[in-house]
Structure 1
Amino acid sequence: MLLLGIDIGTSSVKVSVVDAATQNILSSAQYPDEESPIKALHPGWAEQSPQMWWEQAQQALERCHAKKAYDPADIAAIGIAYQMHGLVLVDKDQNVLRDSIIWCDSRAVEIGDKAFAAIGEEHCLSHLLNSPGNFTASKLAWVKENEPEIYRKIDKIMLPGDYIAMKLTGEITTSVSALSEGVFFDFKTNGISKEILNYFGFDESLFPVINPVFSSHGTLSTAVAQKLKLKAGIPVAYKSGDQPNNALSLNVLNPGEVAATAGTSGVIYGVSDELTYDQQSRINTFAHVNYAEQQKRLGVLLCINGTGSLYRWAKYNFGAGLTYTQMNNEAKKAPLGSDGLQILPFGNGAERMLNNKQVGAHIQNIDLNLHTQAHIFRAVQEGIASAFRYGLDIMRSNGMNPTVIRAGKSNLFLSELFTETFVNATGVPVELYNNDGSVGAALGAGIGAGIYKSPTEAFSNAKPIQLIEPSTQQFEPVYQEWKELLSLKLKA
């Protein structure tokens, strides 16, 4: 019996087929080979076409099938992971009304800030666990205010994974986890927030049916099954935002367990059993994949918008012709501290951990007679690791004190130098796993379809492939100089 996982990323779509019995990955593929475009019609805007995600998912699955490592007819359930906070709008015929306003779009910050003040900061934090900030609810309010002709046509609002599930099944559902990431969910009343609805003037009919994360979100339609060479009627049995799903893929489900990822954005995600929140909303709390009213499991999330996106920028502008592996090897040639070269990785929209400020990315202290390509690549990795440390200190001030962090060996964690720098910057050991979001989505589907009796069974074979512990290399002076630079930019 096989499981299919689909991961709708910002840069590409990846799919994996997993053997349910062994949890082994039989085949994986992604599409496209180059990073997907993000439309920025105005400064601070970021949009993508939902139809593009659907086409990429089909192309990735076709590539996976082409490896002939399995029989597609043996796939018994589908799971979906997706980029969080994106707004997808469809009419009564399930036609998309506009491009998705995605996670790193900053246009709704002011709208969210006004809602925070009007609804009341204490109410928002104690009931929503977040400020409305720059999340999906505020993005929907922006559409209502600025595109009323589109707003009037809306039948349902969705997140990116809901849209892909709709294309597979023809059904539209959501979950408590999804509603919480959009800042629509009231944790005290355990339902959609009446205060958010009343303040913004949203009708509750805009929201889909609420199902558990691990459950059937519809079954594969005959027409789509034929097109994808799959069996009709198999369930989409799991949907989750990428960061809760990344935590699931690393078996991070219990209080105190912590995961990290460094893809397009960088995230540290810890699990708590308390309705916790940061007074400044620099970190955010959402319902985790295994959240239940009787057994609360909350995901405490730190996000840095520009991690892999900064490394991609460095590749295009300073590493023409180099692969990421070659860039990583080149970075090792520069010394610790990059001979004074410093980089702030904040050029991808408003940063929540910086109180929704748009600081921008900065390259500081360039010496034209000293600094080389290697210094640029190392300074990028050191700047990203320093941003993680800065955010982790915020999490620590809110009671999250990890003794180990789990991460998939992918994206920036493929770099030995970055992984060591991350560990030395944070002072926390990292366990690396041979896992990713698409595999987590596949195993999640197995849980939702009842193939596994529990998440514990789904991850019974999960073992770390590497443990990296802090070394004697002193990163603290490098971090303190970086932090001083950030402080100056925040005051500017």
Structure 2
Amino acid sequence: MYFIGYDLGSSSLKTALVDSETGETLAVIKTPAEELGIDAPHPGWAEQDPELWWKCICEGTREVLSKTRVAPGAISGIGIAYQMHGLVTLDGTGQCVRPAIIWCDSRAVSIGEQTLGELGEPQCREHLLNEPGNFTASKLRWVQQEEPEAFNKTKTFLLPGDYIAYRLSGKAQTTASGLSEGILWDFQKGQPAYWLLGHWGMPDSLLPEIVPTFGHQSKVSKSGARDTGLSEGTPILYRAGDQPNNAFTLNVLEPGIVAATGGTSGVLYGITDSPKVAELRRFNHFLHVNHAPDRLRIGQLLCINGAGSLYRWLKDQLDVSGYDEMNTLAEAVPVGSDGLLCFPFGNGAERMLDNKSIGASFSGLEFNRHHKGHLCRAALEGIAFAFRYGMELMEGSGLPFKTIRAGNDNLFQSDIFTTTLAALGQTTIELYEVTGAVGAARACMVEQLGLEEYLEHTAGRDYLATVLPVKEVGDYRIAYLRWKDELQKK
């Protein structure tokens, strides 16, 4: 028997098939071949058509089944990971009312700030563990205020992964962890923040059914089976946002170890067992996948919107064959990029910069001195500097960085990026050859094994390498301090 895992990002969907007994990966498929587009009808907006997500699910499922020659009836469970903080609105017939407002959309920043002022910091700190910010709840409020006709048609709202599960099963459901990432969970009461919806004059009926993160959530419907090629009745056993899922995939479930990703955005995700939060604005607190009422596990997430997106943009501007060539060019340039600095903040409002949109930029460029290699190295260093800046914020709140764990993809395939990050934080980085889609598929094993046995079963799996911090950090630190000094002037 086998499990299928989906990892829905903003640029693509990954579909993985794993053996249900061993967790061995049989195949991972990326859909579509080209990246999914993001629509920006106005500055700061970011939207996608959920129908495109569903098209990718159908194509990815059929392709992975065809490639492995696994019969649909041999699939015994489905796990779903997804891009966080998005908003999908459904009408009474289950159709999307409007395009999805995705994670990097900045339109609701002012609504979050206004709501913080109305509710007061103590209420947000004690009950939400976050300010409303630019998350799902504030985006829903934006629709209510700016598109009242669309809001009046809306009968329920979903996160992106909830929408995928809805199309598979016909059931509008979410999880407590999902509501917490939307800033719609009352941590003190252990229930949805009904009072926040009431504050905005929204009915409780907008909330979908709440199901556990692990365990039987729903089954593939007849129409879901017809579209995907799966068997009707196949159970959905897991769903989580991509960053909690990434942490789970890397066995980051306890304080002290931090999960990191360096894809379109850059993310640091650590664990705390304390409900007390020192920081409301620049990073966030969500129920982690292994949270229980008697065992508090809260994920602390810091997101850098402009990370891999900067390196991808630079690749598109340069006459290079791909990232390998860029990394080779960068390696010929010394630490500090001969004075060239890069600030990778061109993908919307940066929460760790107090929701400012300062744009991306290069500083100190000299036409007769700097070339492609300098641009590539400065970009990699600038992203690593942004990660280190975020680490300092999180360390200041009491989160320890004993070890960083990351998948061996995207930015973490660059020696310059990993060496710079390890050097500045004097932190060990462990790399694993695994993806979020594989983690989502393996999460289905928790239903049959239980979490503790699952962790024993997967401990050390997929380990690839360890990056140790270099002892000579002077040049790295000088370059970083120059970068940070200039950042604080922006």
Q: Under a length normalisation based on structure 1, what TM-score does the superposition of the two structures give?
A: 0.96
How far off its partner does 1:228 sit?
2.5
Aligned equivalent of 1:390? 389
The residue aligned with 2:343 is 344
Q: 5 Å matches for 1:69-218?
A: 70-218=70-218
Q: Deviations over 1:139-182 (max 9, x none)?
A: 00000000000100111100000000001111111111000000
Distance in 2, Cα, partners of 1:441 & 1:282: 28
Note the C-alpha offset of 1:457. 4.3
Residues 281-320 of structure 1, C-alpha deviation per residue, up to 9 Å, x if partnerless? 21110000111111111001111001111111001112x3
Secondary structure of 1:218 counterpart: strand
AA at the equivalent of 1:462? R
Aligned to 2:233: 233
Distance 2:246 2:137 in 1: 23
Q: Deviations over 1:213-253 (max 9, x none)?
A: 01222101133224433222111111100000000000111
Q: Which runs of 5+ in 1 are unaligned?
A: none
Which residue identity is paired with 2:254?
N
Cα deviation, 1:91-142, whole Å, max 9, x if unaligned, reads 1111011111111111101111010011011110111000001111110000
For residues 336 and 461 of structure 1, the distance between their equivalents in structure 2, rounded to whole angstroms, comes to 33
Q: Which amino acid aligns with 1:104?
A: C
Q: Give the SS at the match of 1:145.
A: helix
The alpha-carbon deviation at position 31 of structure 1 amounts to 1.0
Show structure 2 runs of 5+ residues with no match: none
- 1: CA distance, partners of 2:134 / 2:109: 5
Preserved CA contact (<8 Å) 1:22 1:461: no
C-alpha distance in 1, partners of 2:330/2:69?
Answer: 37
Map 1:423-462 onto structure 2 (within 5 A): 423-447=422-446, 449-450=447-448, 452=450, 454=452, 455-457=454-456, 459-460=458-459, 462=461
- Match in the other structure for 1:366: 365
2:434, 2:462 within 8 Å by CA — same for their partners in 1? no
How many angstroms apart in 2 are the aligned matches of 1:114 and 1:95? Answer: 31
Instruction: Give the Å deviation of 1:359.
Output: 1.3
Alignment CA distance shift 1:63-1:416 (3 Å): farther
| Residue equivalent to 1:411 | 410
* Corresponding residue of 1:481: 482
1:461 and 1:468, CA in 2 relative to 1: closer, same or farther beyond 3 A?
Answer: closer
1:88 partner amino acid? V
SS in 1 for 2:240: strand
3-state DSSP class of the match of 1:295? coil
Identity of aligned residues (%): 45
Using the TM superposition, give the Cα deviation of residue 459 of structure 1 relative to its aligned residue in structure 2, in angstroms: 2.1
Deviation at 1:477, TM superposition (A): 0.6
Whole-Å separation in 1 of the counterparts to 2:182 and 2:364: 40
- State the distance in 1 between where 2:425 and 2:359 align: 23
Question: What amino acid maps onto 1:171 in structure 2?
Answer: K
Per mean C-alpha deviation after superposition, the further-off stretch among 148-157 and 320-329 is: 320-329
Give distance in 2, aligned partners of 1:72 and 1:460: 29
| Range with bigger deviation, 396-405 or 54-63 | 54-63
Supply the AA of the counterpart residue of 1:127.
H
Residues 119 and 195 of structure 1 are in contact (CA less than 8 Å); yes or no, is this contact kept in structure 2? no
C-alpha distance after superposition, 1:177-232 (max 9, x if no partner): 00000001110111111331122112110001111101222101133224433222
In structure 2, relative to structure 1, the CA distance for the partners of 1:268 and 1:130 (3 Å cut) is same
After TM superposition, where is structure 1 displaced by more than 4 Å over at least 4 residues in a row? none
User: Helix, strand or coil: the match of 1:104?
Assistant: coil
Taking the TM superposition and a 5 Å limit, the aligned residue runs for 1:243-282 are 243-282=243-282
Contact 1:280 1:355 in 2 (8 A): no
- The corresponding residue for 1:58 is 58
Question: Do the aligned residues in 2 keep the contact of 1:171 with 1:217 (CA within 8 Å)?
Answer: no
- Work out the CA distance in 2 between the residues paired with 1:36 and 1:24: 28
Report the count of equivalent residues.
Answer: 487
- Cα distance change, pair 463–435 in 1 and its aligned pair in 2 (3 A): closer
Contact 1:343–1:380 at 8 Å: present in 2 too? Answer: yes
Superposed CA RMSD in Å reads 1.4
> Secondary structure, in 3 states, of the residue corresponding to 2:443?
helix
Q: Structure 1 pair 39/428, CA: closer, same or farther in 2 (3 Å)?
A: same
Change (3 A) 1:417 1:62: farther
Contact 1:73–1:229 (CA under 8 A) maintained in structure 2:
no
The whole-number CA distance in structure 2 between the counterparts of 1:481 and 1:461 is 38
Question: TM-score by structure 2 length?
Answer: 0.97
* Counterpart for residue 39 of structure 2: 39
The one-letter amino acid of 1:246's match is N
For 1:44 and 1:227, locate their aligned partners in 2 and report how far apart those are by CA, in whole Å.
34
Name the CA distance, whole Å, in 2 between partners of 1:280 and 1:452. Answer: 34
Please give the alpha-carbon distance, in whole angstroms, between the structure 2 residues aligned to 1:152 and 1:138: 16
Question: Structure 1 residues 208, 458: closer, same or farther in 2, change over 3 A?
Answer: farther
Mapped contact 1:339–1:375 kept (Cα < 8 A) = yes
Contact 1:15/1:60 (8 A) holds in 2? yes
The equivalent residue for 1:222 is: 222
